Structures are given as structure tokens and as C-alpha cells.
Amino acid sequence: MDDKKDEVYGDHISHKFNDELMELKAEFLTMGGMVESQVENAIQALVDGDGHLAEQIRLNDKKVDRLEVSLDEEATLIIARRQPTARDLRLVISVIKMVADLERIGDEAKKIAKVAMTLAEEGHAPRGYVEVRHIGVHVQTMLHDALDAFARLDSTQALRIMKEDKRVDEEYQAAARALLTFMMEDTRNISRCMSVMWVLRALERVGDHACNIAENVIFMVEGEDVRHTSVEEAERVVTG
């Protein structure tokens, strides 16, 4: 860009480009907030046996799906029009990947809502609610922190979430084992315990997806792919 006109023009383009990236980030966080509510409400519907709330979650999932499609479109348009490279390209591609994680968290919330509807009719399961609440709070915090780490591009916080995922897995294993033991001792309620088992699994998956988002934040910020690496290796990447 040699003359003034080009400079102004180039500046204008790059402003618009930045606006588009900001807009993409903002919409991703909107979708994230929506999915957070879905998980929270699904757990609430289950614990309260609230079939009405569960139905609401199923309806809201369509909004989540629509956001997935529109965010993907927007990200693809940015690549086609702005031809981002380096850090900007990593951001856009990470958004495309993380949007899929958010959509799947939404699906898990929908599965929990489905169980909530069944149990709202059949009556509470005799066990497992304490564990559902406990793991529920844990993965909700992970998801919230992952979205926050993305908003602030904070790879140190993202690393903390990767560490939490291991704990959630352990909590899930312990809860599933305890529920299975209960099923073997009190065989009258196998069907309803099984329903709670699916909820525990769904929550564990929410934790996995929050962890995926955290890994993408580290990739965006540090430029290194820490999926399938040990937490120690990820720590080395983040702390340099």
C-alpha cells in the first residue's frame, strides 16, 4: 500500500474484518450462554420432576441448532472474504470446532430433559440425585469457565479446565459404580436407576466438551494443539 488512499482503504477493510471477528466471538458466547441455561434447566427439571420445564428445553434446543448453522456460515464467510491467516485463522477454525461442541452439549441437555420427562411421569428414582447435582455443578462450572477463558483468551484458565476434566471422570466413575451396586441390591427400581445412569453419562460428556473448548482456547492463544497430550505437556505449552 503506497499511497494514502490505499492506506485508508486498507485500514477500513481491517476495521471491518476486526468487527466481524468480534461479532463472531460475541455470537459464539451467546450460543454458549444459551447452552449453559439448557444444562442448568435440564438438571433442575430432573431434580424437581418438572415435565413442563423439560418440554421447554426440548423446544429451545432448536434455537441452539439454528445458532450452530448460522455461526458456521458466518465463520466460513469470514474465511472466504477476509482470508485470515495465523492467529485470526486459528480463531475462526476453532470457533467452527467449538460450535460443534456447544451443539453437542445442547444435545446432552436434551437427553437429560427426556429422562426428566419420563421420571416426572413414573416418579423419582430412588438414588443418584445427589451425584447428579454434584457432577452437574462441576461440569456447569467447567463450561462457564471454558466460555470465560475463550472470551478473555486466557490459556491458563483453559489449562485448569483440562485438569478438572480428570476429576469429573473420576466422580462419574464412582457415581456410576455406586448406582450399579444399588441396582444389584435393590432390583425393584432398575429401570429408573438406569435412567439416572444415562443422566450421569450425559453430564460426564458435557465435561468432555467443555474440556474440548478449553483445548481449543489453548490452541488459539499458544498455537499448539494440546488434544491427546498429557496435562503436563499442556502445562509446558501454556507456561512456556
Residues at the contact surface with a second copy, assessed by CB under 8 A: 62, 65-66, 68-69, 72-73, 76, 79-80, 83, 85-86, 89-90, 93, 96-97, 100, 180, 183-184, 187, 190-191, 194, 197, 201, 225, 227-228
Asked whether 141 and 79 are in contact (CB, 8 A), the reply is: no
Using CA atoms, how far apart are residues 161 and 170, in angstroms rounded to an integer? 15
Q: How far is the CB of 102 from a second copy (least distance, A)?
A: 13
Q: How far is the CB of 238 from a second copy (least distance, A)?
A: 18
3-class secondary structure for 46-109? Answer: HHHCCHHHHHHHHHHHHHHHHHHHHHHHHHHHHHHHHCCCHHHHHHHHHHHHHHHHHHHHHHHH
Q: How far is the CB of 168 from a second copy (least distance, A)?
A: 16
Asked whether 162 and 211 are in contact (CB, 8 A), the reply is: yes
Cell 503506497 -> residue? 2
C-alpha cell at position 30: 451467546
Q: How far is the CB of 25 from a second copy (least distance, A)?
A: 18
Q: How far is the CB of 38 from a second copy (least distance, A)?
A: 15
By beta-carbon proximity to a second copy, the closer residue of 29 and 93 is 93
Q: How far is the CB of 170 from a second copy (least distance, A)?
A: 16
By beta-carbon proximity to a second copy, the closer residue of 48 and 126 is 126
By beta-carbon proximity to a second copy, the closer residue of 19 and 73 is 73
By beta-carbon proximity to a second copy, the closer residue of 12 and 81 is 81
By beta-carbon proximity to a second copy, the closer residue of 44 and 229 is 229
By beta-carbon proximity to a second copy, the closer residue of 58 and 141 is 58
Q: Environment class of residue 124 by beta-carbon count within 10 Å: exposed (0-12), middle (13-18) or buried (19+)?
A: middle
Q: How far is the CB of 43 from a second copy (least distance, A)?
A: 21
3-class secondary structure for 170-236? Answer: HHHHHHHHHHHHHHHHCHHHHHHHHHHHHHHHHHHHHHHHHHHHHHHHHHHHHCCCCCCCCHHHHHH
By beta-carbon proximity to a second copy, the closer residue of 46 and 98 is 98
Region of 86 (left: φ > 0; alpha: ψ -120 to 50; beta: rest) is left
Using CA atoms, how far apart are residues 48 and 46, in angstroms rounded to an integer? 6
